């Protein structure tokens, strides 16, 4: 090899390294972003793509809960472009019906275009019924990582034996008359209970450490210029959100009573430096109904599988409010995050611009929106409006609100 050729090679390598540094360092990273993130490449774990059927968590699988029929050699998965050492052991997860296929297709397209096309994280789909071929074909074609399809074991999507079904039926009839949203729906209640207590212990989820929940028909308005999974892991975050709001009281009249019962019975699970101030305005006597909107979540599966969370869920589940009222998984997850986690383990992702009907989170800060090629209208940002709880999160954590928030208050 001539020395001229070697010089040329060295020159090209240095040029590429400088270009890479400029493009990474000029993009906005999460607030309070730990700069060590950029220098810890290679520390992430290999994503695990096989299904562990020997897990110790009870998945209730008397039936086969993993559908591998889509994994025909005809559907080829693209090769990973991101070295697997850069990725965290994480997956997207979606609970859906077959009829949701086109609405989830929209969501996947956006998640891929704005983020996952550079990472190829896996995607787990869960359903109380078997997914049909169309669902599997369309979603597998859109996801750049490996797709997995799981069937929910019947005992995770049915009435526990301590529930009085006649009483539950009367509640649904009454809520229908009172026109409470989803008040008459039996399946919505199973869905909320499943998301509250079971999705993280489906056998397909057992191999992963972090999850990102995606629902049908969501929108992402900005590029995601960093890996949120890695951010969570490297900064010791366990739960994250983009939107927060007040819950509809008629769906949860006795939820806080149930939480208080759990707190007295299991004080060892309550974190010392918790976020009670986000949940209650009177030191815990009453619930102010603030919750993180759980249709978007990036969180730790290990936390959800911890004794603290499982004891919390079991205690609430025994009280029957998933069926005798209409407890949503959003307040159930949020109260758990608020009480079982330390304040600093909950993260707000300003940079992830998100819509789920009817609310928008559009990042505050014009430079961030320009850098991330956002197409949301900042005046639609819900964060600083009266019905959002996000200001409380900033207050209790002593974080200054982002510059320009005043302009988005009304
Ligand atoms: N498999 C299955 N998924 C459901 C069912 N009901 C709701 N889901 C899913 O659960 C999530 C929440 O339901 P959604 O209708 O979006 O409720 P909303 O966001 O509260 O209005 C979505 O991902 C739905 O696709 C159901 O009966 N079966
Ligand atoms: Mg939804």
What tens digit of pLDDT does each residue of 32-80 get? 433 222 222 222 333 333 232 223 333 344 457 898 776 644 333 444 4
Give the burial class of 260: count Cβ atoms within 10 A of its Cβ; 0-12 exposed, 13-18 middle, 19 or more buried: middle
Q: What is the C-alpha separation between 118 and 74, in angstroms, rounded?
A: 23
Give the domain ranges of the chain: 90-348
Q: What is the C-alpha separation between 128 and 398, in angstroms, rounded?
A: 42
Portion of the chain with pLDDT greater than 70, in percent: 81
| pLDDT at 213 (0 to 100) | 99
What tens digit of pLDDT does each residue of 160-200 get? 999 999 999 999 999 999 999 999 999 999 999 999 999 99
Q: What is the C-alpha separation between 40 and 377, in angstroms, rounded?
A: 35
Mutate to test the pocket of ligand 1, among 65, 92, 96 (most ligand atoms within 8 A of CB): 96
What is the CATH number that goes with domain 90-348?
Answer: 3.90.550.10
State pTM to two decimals. Answer: 0.86
Residues with CB under 6 A from ligand 1: 94-97, 100, 127-128, 187-188, 191, 215-216, 295
Q: Which atom of ligand 1 is nearest to the CA of 187?
A: 27
| pLDDT at 72 (0 to 100) | 45
> Taking CA 372 as the corner, what is the angle to CA 366 and CA 378, rounded to the nearest 5 degrees?
40
Phi-psi region of 404 (alpha: psi -120 to 50; beta: other; left: phi over 0): left
Is 344 catalytic? The answer is no
Which regions of 96-209 does DSSP assign to beta strands (E)?
122-127, 147-151
| pLDDT at 54 (0 to 100) | 28
Rounded to the nearest angstrom, the gap between the alpha carbon of residue 175 and the centroid of all alpha carbons in its chain is 29
CA of 33 to the centre of ligand 2 (A): 30
Count, in order, helices (H) and strands (E) of the chain.
Answer: 14, 13
Three-state secondary structure call for residue 405: helix
Q: What is the C-alpha separation between 269 and 284, in angstroms, rounded?
A: 16
| pLDDT at 83 (0 to 100) | 63
> Taking CA 381 as the corner, what is the angle to CA 378 and CA 385, rounded to the nearest 5 degrees?
130
């Amino acid at each position: 090899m001539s020395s001229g050729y070697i010089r040329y090679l060295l020159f090209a390598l240095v040029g590429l390294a400088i270009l890479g540094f400029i493009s990474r360092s000029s993009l906005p990273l999460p607030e309070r972003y730990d700069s060590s993130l950029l220098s810890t490449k290679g520390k992430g774990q290999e994503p695990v793509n096989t299904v562990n059927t020997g897990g110790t968590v009870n998945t209730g699988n008397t039936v086969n809960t993993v559908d591998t029929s889509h994994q025909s050699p005809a559907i080829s998965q693209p090769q990973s472009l991101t070295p697997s050492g850069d990725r965290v052991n994480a997956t997207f997860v979606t609970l859906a019906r077959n009829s949701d296929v086109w609405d989830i297709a929209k969501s996947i397209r956006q998640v891929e275009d704005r983020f996952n096309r550079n990472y190829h994280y896996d995607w787990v789909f869960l359903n109380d019924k078997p997914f049909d071929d169309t669902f599997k074909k369309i979603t597998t074609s859109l996801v750049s990582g490996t797709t997995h399809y799981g069937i929910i074991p019947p005992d995770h999507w049915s009435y526990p034996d301590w529930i009085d079904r006649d009483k539950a039926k009367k509640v649904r009839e009454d809520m229908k008359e009172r026109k409470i949203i989803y008040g008459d729906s039996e399946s919505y209640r199973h869905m909320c209970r499943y998301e509250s207590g079971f999705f993280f212990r489906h056998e397909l989820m057992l191999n992963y450490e972090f999850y990102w929940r995606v629902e049908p028909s969501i929108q992402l308005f900005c590029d995601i210029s960093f890996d949120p999974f890695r951010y969570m892991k490297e900064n010791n975050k366990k739960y994250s959100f983009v939107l927060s709001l007040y819950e509809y009281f008629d769906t949860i009249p006795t939820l806080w009573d149930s939480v208080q019962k759990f707190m007295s019975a299991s004080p060892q699970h309550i974190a010392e430096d918790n976020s009670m101030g986000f949940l209650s305005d009177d030191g815990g006597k009453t619930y102010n109904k603030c919750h993180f909107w759980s249709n978007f979540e990036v969180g730790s599966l290990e936390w959800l599988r911890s004794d603290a969370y499982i004891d919390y869920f079991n205690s609430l589940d025994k009280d029957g409010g998933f069926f005798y009222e209409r407890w949503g998984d959003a307040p159930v997850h949020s109260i758990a995050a608020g009480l079982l986690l330390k304040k600093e383990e909950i993260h707000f992702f300003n940079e992830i611009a998100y819509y789920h009907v009817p609310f928008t989170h559009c990042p505050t800060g014009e430079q961030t929106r320009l850098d991330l090629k956002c197409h949301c209208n900042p005046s639609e940002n819900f964060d600083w409006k009266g019905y959002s709880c996000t200001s409380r999160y900033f207050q209790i954590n002593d974080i200054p609100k982002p510059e320009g928030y005043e302009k988005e208050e009304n």
